[in-house]
Amino acid sequence: MSENGNSAPEETGGDQPRRVLRRIELRIPDGKGPERLDVFLARQVSELTRSKAQEIISSGEVTVDDQRAKPSHKVRPGQVIRLEVLSRPPLELEAEPIPLNVVWEDNWLVVIDKPAGMVVHPAAGNRSGTLVNALLAHYQELAPGGAPDRPGLVHRLDKGTSGLMVVCKREPALSKMAKLFREHNIEREYRAIVWWPMPLRKGLVDEPLGRDLRNRKRYAVRPDGKPAQTGWNRLEKFDFLSYLAIHPETGRTHQIRVHLSSIGHPVFGDSDYGGRNRQMGRLTSGQRKVAAAYLEKIRRQLLHAAVLGFSHPITRKELRFESPLPEDFSWLLEQLRAGEL
Fill in the DSSP letter of residue 43: H
C-alpha span between 80 and 99 (Å, rounded): 52
How much is the mean pLDDT over the chain?
90
C-alpha span between 290 and 280 (Å, rounded): 10
Give the pLDDT band (50/70/90) at residue 254: very high
Supply the residues annotated as catalytic: 158
Give the pLDDT band (50/70/90) at residue 13: very low
Give the pLDDT band (50/70/90) at residue 19: low
205 forms bridges with which residues in the sheet?
Answer: 230
Angle 97-98-101 from CA coordinates, rounded to 5°:
130
List % helix, strand, coil for the chain (3-state, nearest 5): 20, 30, 45
Whether the per-residue pLDDT at 14 is higher than 50: the answer is: no
**155-193 pLDDT, tens per residue?**
999 999 999 999 999 999 999 999 999 999 999 999 999
**93-149 pLDDT, tens per residue?**
889 999 999 999 999 999 999 999 999 988 766 778 999 999 999 998 999 876 778
Report the top-level CATH class of 189-305+330-338. Answer: alpha beta
State residue 8's pLDDT score. 38
Across residues 36-43, what is the average pLDDT?
89
Query: What are the C-alpha distances in Å from 275 to residues 200, 229, 298, 301?
Result: 20, 20, 11, 8
Whether the per-residue pLDDT at 17 is higher than 80: the answer is: no
User: To the nearest 10°, the Cα dihedral for 169, 171, 173, 176?
Assistant: 140
Q: In CATH terms, is domain 91-183 a member of 3.40.50.1820?
A: no
Do the two domains 3-86 and 189-305+330-338 of this chain adopt the same fold?
Answer: no
Q: Which residues contact 125 (CB under 8 A, 6 or more apart)?
A: none
C-alpha span between 284 and 288 (Å, rounded): 6
Model confidence, pTM: 0.77
Phi/psi for 269 (5° steps) reads 90, 0
C-alpha span between 105 and 108 (Å, rounded): 8
State residue 53's pLDDT score. 87
| Architecture field, domain 3-86 | Roll (3.10)
- The H or E element spanning position 280 is none
Any idea where the domains of the chain sit in the sequence?
3-86, 91-183, 189-305+330-338
Across residues 62-89, what is the average pLDDT?
87
By the 8 A CB rule, do 213 and 271 touch? no
